Chain A
Amino acid sequence: MISFPILTMLVLVPTAGSLVVAAFSNRRPEWVKLTALLTSVLTGALSIWVLAAFDEANADFQFVSKHAWIKPWGISWHLGVDGISLFLVVLTGVLFPLVIAGTDPHHDHKRYLSWMLLLEAGLMGSFISLDLFLFFVFFEIVLVPMYFLIAGWGYEGRVHAAMKFFLFTMVGSAFMLVGVIATAFLAKGNGPLTFDLIELAKADFAPTTGRWLFFAFAVAFAVKVPIFPLHTWLPDAHTQAPTGGSVILAGVMLKLGTYGLLRFGVYLFPEAALWSRSLWLTLAVIGIIYGAIVATMQKDLKRLVAYSSVAHLGFIVLGTFAMTTQSISGSVMQNINHGVSTGALFLLVGMIYERRHTREISELKGLQKVAPIFAGVFMVVMLSSIGVPGLNGFVGEYLVLVGSFLTARWWTVVAATGVILAALYLLWAYQRVFHGEPDEANKGFGELKAREAAVLLPLVGVIVFTGVYPKPMLDRIEPSVKRLIEHVSDKTSYVEPQPAEEAP
């Protein structure tokens, strides 16, 4: 039976859109915008379709599409979605149309939108690839449009930031390329060469070999997450990127790192992941505390949000390596929550910049008085980022912590102080920007416009819905996470601890 190749379409539609947009004449900007928007909406609709048709009880990869690509090397066009990648696909599908509809580049719409759509194709491809080589190709494709988006449409320090971003990730990628090739060849044994993820996950590596390979992958992903101390490309890139770029960078692209750690790190090399978990847990906790402290002292609003990502992503890494059902599911969920909340925060900061042409906190004051609705939306998004229960951020963070407590108690105790710091840096920033009497420069700050509201409303809706009723999401994530943990248990001596087992 040949079914509709929906995952392939998720990659092909934005690619085609990108090419069409690039082929348009520069004199028809309205057509360019419309085509780009329609393409991204179509991709978004496809991703929603995947969500709707996804079988929540099935832990396996679904909508699988597998075709030989480079036969002699065992490389295939192998796509599939499971509970771990499902919501990342939906997030990508939903964020892009919002970004394209909600933000405008300051020049040259055509090339900007063309890069955007190519970026979407690359991200989609990365999240659904089940072939190491294919994944690597998509992972690298992503870099190119993001580099040009930052360098071409960014702010004052864009060239430096784009270069730093590119070099950092390229260094990581070099390690990963070695890892990909070495994994395939070392796993080969007497059988045929393959880059297929599922086949390779069955291989048994000698511990030392597995650890080397794991680190080759992990370095690439650690840069992407980013994990302390590899994070310094992030504040520059986030701050200098155009609003749309920042939203995608924080919302989706960082998740390549956390997703990769789960899919290609823990899944392929469980022994190595367990062996090195103390290192990762420690770096994660450092990231949580350190990111929050550094965020507190930032003078640039966008930089503050960027450092908050370092802290939030620390929670995801903590949950990943704590390796319990709750902690990993929490991490998977937090991928999405962070994408929605931080995406919305970057959109809001972009809206402030458009009005005031500054991101300096000290230049802003009393905005709540002149723009109460704008402030209200900012408040809800901020509370979600702080992790107030009833909103999305809490559910993920809580699951990470409660799950991590079972296997990594003391790390969790320290990590939980991150919730205090999160309140500190965000509320302090909010007070300086929104509270007080607006001065001359801020008196004319415009209220939320209809278009801006239309872009933010879906995100706020998701923030509230996920916080109040996370069950549909958790139901879809849980089976795949459980299967991953079973895989780890099969390959190693790891036994997931269950609560209430403690002898009285």
Chain B
Amino acid sequence: MLDVVWLIPAFPLAGFALILLFGRRLGDPKAGYLATLMCGAAFVVTAGVFFDLLSHSAEEREHVDTVFSWVPLGSLQVDMAFLADPLSITMCLFVTGIGTLIHLYAVGYMHGDPRFSKFFLYLNLFAVSMLLLVLGENMLVTFLGWEGVGTCSYLLISFWHERESAATAGKKAFVTNRVGDWGFMLAMFFAFQATGTLSYIGVNEAAGTMAQSTATAIALLCFIGAVGKSAQLPLYLWLPDAMEGPTPVSALIHAATMVTAGVFLMCRMSPILDAASSYAPTIIAIVGVATALFAATIAVAQNDIKKVLAYSTVSQLGYMFLAVGSGAYTAAIFHMVTHAFFKALLFLGSGAVIHGMHHEQDMRRMGALRKVMPVTAATFIVGWLAIAGVPPFAGFWSKDDILLAAYDKSPVLWILGLVTALLTAYYMTRQVIMVFYGEARWHDAHEEHGAHGDADPHESPAIMLLPLVVLAGLSIVGGGLNLPFSHTTERLAVWLEPVIGLHESETAKVPLAVIATVVALLGIALSVMVYAKHKAKPVEPQVLAEGWYYDRTVSRFMGGPGRKAFDAAAWYDATVVDGGVNGVGRLVRGTAQRIRTVQSGNVRNYAAAVGVGVVLLLAWFVVVRGSL
């Protein structure tokens, strides 16, 4: 199977091509099924490659599949090549697996949309790009996928482009991501200059002999790329706005897969990071934990069902960078996988709620929905327990791994991580209560709107519920991938060890796990007191609802001084540079008119004047300088 790694991205690419050509004819829902089928086929191939890799010994689990020579130029030789190893195949498995489920869900969710087939066109293109990103044998193929997912993200966020906010959000996502891409590009330039190759194998092998300053530069520039793509401080701004896209997009791109690309890149380049100065991982850990805490505080005061999840995603990605910065790459990947399970589940669940509520996203107009949406509610609750870190759900195990690593790095990081865990449990409980429990607040809302006959909330069709159930199952048992009981139960760590090494810890795990569990339960209990029992008033200050005014400040700056500066440049060009030229032109014309006293303005006359000038210059050369 290893020789057909190229088939993994080829299937969704074929889907893209087919829908591009026949999408309109296929229509709703056939185009959707085609796209789902292609993504599913990619999953099957990935599974085959996975088992093939398993059959090899740990050291031999690395296979390069070169398709063609992409950018060959002198000392720069870049192949369109794929690297199948435990890391990339782990990524591929969950990208194609969850991708297929979300494709299937979207067939139901997007039913009736006038641009149904176009949605799946973009979705399949996204799958191709994401697979190129993770499978790339070198940084440039990854960058191709990296920009590809960014472009698809742009297209899908602004999918309902008639809405001003959607169009703006798409543009914001693309431009902000490009800031990060600048870092990624420079990282590639440094790597090429230092090693003469862009291949991961080559660059990582050279890590040991590289100047430490070079390794630091590459690592930190890659991290700038990761900060953009994975929505960390200070570039996270685009992700909450990206919720303007259809909900399956939020689940697939802005929760499960694309936004984790930054974490993946850091793990891929981990030998470089290990070779860098020690302040590099520390910076990464600090940015990670700061983002985790910052976004969690904002999530506490959001009322839009998707905005809560968006800030929660930013926060959870922060955890992953905390893990990367602490040297626990396995923990980062582990949390990436479990997060993909439960966050995709939560987003799809919120999509089912929005779908069933006829595009209502304000949680203040929900409540008691568990009665009308039993399956959605049950699966959402599983997702909630998983993200809150309640044992034995998936999120508990992976978060615990990260907190352990953070503790080894510095107790301060660990405490900040714990506070984030408390807030996470708190705001997720708040969301579950506001949406599924309490009293039904949607009756009033609909009366206000002048209810239509069928305006009552309803459960979603089976095609949307099936993915929810599968993801709920994964969110329950996902922790089984990497149980900390013994070396053999740490399956993921053992599997990934040849690529990203092992994080050894001397710290006693059990007390930390107990503390983490207590903190999670405390968060839930607090939230229940406030939102279900109404024992205390909710703390939702405006400053948190507005995201610490960060977004607004940046927007004001861009729209104010930033725009003024750009305007000034345009004015300068029109007035000073061009004005100067025109002034010279007028001067010449005026002088010429006075000298020749002939009405001018005729180009031939100017040409003649230029000709005379040339002759004079020539004469000067010959007469004054004596030679040419």
Contacts and interface: CB of A to CB of B under 8 A. Distances in A.
Interface in A457-504: 469-471, 474-475, 478, 482, 498-500, 502-504
Nearest to A296: B566
A471 B72 contact: yes
B600 to A, nearest CB: 11
A402 B188 contact: yes
Interface string A293-316: 110111000000000000000000
Contacts of A399: 71, 73, 76
A256 interface: no
A341 B352 CA distance: 42
Given A369-B162, A474-B71, A401 B185 contact: yes
A185 B628 contact: yes
B617 to A, nearest CB: 5
Interface in B321-377: none
Contacts of B182: 416-417, 419-420
Nearest to B221: A413
Contacts of B581: 164, 168, 232-233
A500 B77 CA distance: 13
A420 B76 contact: no
Contacts of A395: 71
Contacts of A402: 76, 188-189, 192
A171 B185 CA distance: 40
| Interface residue SS majority, chain B | helix
B189 A181 contact: no
A147 B603 contact: yes
Nearest to A424: B175
Contact of B193 (A181, A325, A502): A502
Nearest to A438: B162
B544 interface: no
The number of chain B residues touching the other chain, given as a range, is 35 or more
A423 B175 contact: yes
Contacts of A297: 566-567, 569-570
A57 interface: no
A329 B607 contact: no
B294 to A, nearest CB: 24
B502 interface: no
Nearest to B128: A390
Nearest to A228: B577
B178 A423 contact: yes
A399 to B, nearest CB: 6
Contact of B76 (A173, A326, A427, A428): A326
Interface string A367-386: 01100100000000001000
Interface string A164-208: 101110110110011001100110000000000000000000000
B194 A500 contact: yes
Contact of A419 (B68, B178, B196): B178
Nearest to A404: B189
Contacts of A232: 573, 577-578, 581
A296 B175 CA distance: 13
Nearest to B614: A174
B397 interface: no
B171 A428 contact: yes
A349 interface: no
Interface string B521-552: 00000000000000000000000000000000
A298 B167 CA distance: 20
A427 B193 contact: no
A264 interface: no
Contacts of B614: 174, 177-178
Contact of A499 (B171, B195, B209): B195
Contacts of A174: 610, 613-614, 617
Contacts of B613: 174
Contacts of A504: 209-211
B618 interface: yes
B628 A182 contact: yes
A439 to B, nearest CB: 12
A229 interface: yes
A269 interface: no
B566 A434 contact: no
Interface in B135-173: 140, 143-144, 147-148, 151, 154, 158, 161-162, 164, 167-168, 170-171
A437 interface: yes
Nearest to A168: B581
B73 A329 contact: yes
B585 A471 contact: no
Contacts of A423: 174-175, 178
A300 B192 CA distance: 40
Contacts of A431: 158, 167-168, 170-171
Nearest to B177: A423
B69 interface: yes
A178 B179 contact: no
B46 interface: no
A435 B569 contact: no
B79 to A, nearest CB: 10
A147 B151 CA distance: 40
Interface in A60-106: none
A185 B627 contact: yes
B137 to A, nearest CB: 15
A169 B181 CA distance: 38
B561 interface: no
Given A369-B162, A405-B189, A427 B70 contact: no
A474 B185 contact: no
Contact of A437 (B75, B162, B181): B162
A297 B618 CA distance: 44
B73 A412 contact: no
Contacts of A369: 161-162
Most chain B beta-carbon neighbours within 10 Å: one of A166, A389, A419: A389
A436 interface: yes
- Most chain A beta-carbon contacts within 10 A, residue among B71, B73, B158, B188: B73
A413 B186 contact: yes
Interface string A388-404: 11100011001101110
Contact of A186 (B147, B167, B628): B628
B90 interface: no
B621 interface: yes
28 contacts: A162-B603, A166-B607, A170-B606, A174-B610, A178-B618, A182-B628, A233-B581, A290-B569, A293-B570, A294-B569, A296-B570, A329-B74, A395-B71, A401-B189, A416-B186, A420-B181, A427-B154, A428-B171, A435-B167, A436-B167, A437-B162, A469-B70, A471-B68, A474-B72, A475-B72, A478-B73, A500-B194, A503-B211
Given A178-B614, A474-B71, 7 more contacts: A171-B610, A181-B628, A366-B162, A405-B186, A412-B189, A419-B178, A436-B164
Interface of A: 147, 162-164, 166-168, 170-171, 173-174, 177-178, 181-182, 185-186, 229, 231-233, 290, 293-294, 296-298, 325-326, 329, 366, 368-369, 372, 383, 388-390, 394-395, 398-399, 401-403, 405-406, 412-413, 416-417, 419-420, 423-424, 427-428, 431, 434-437, 469-471, 474-475, 478, 482, 498-500, 502-504
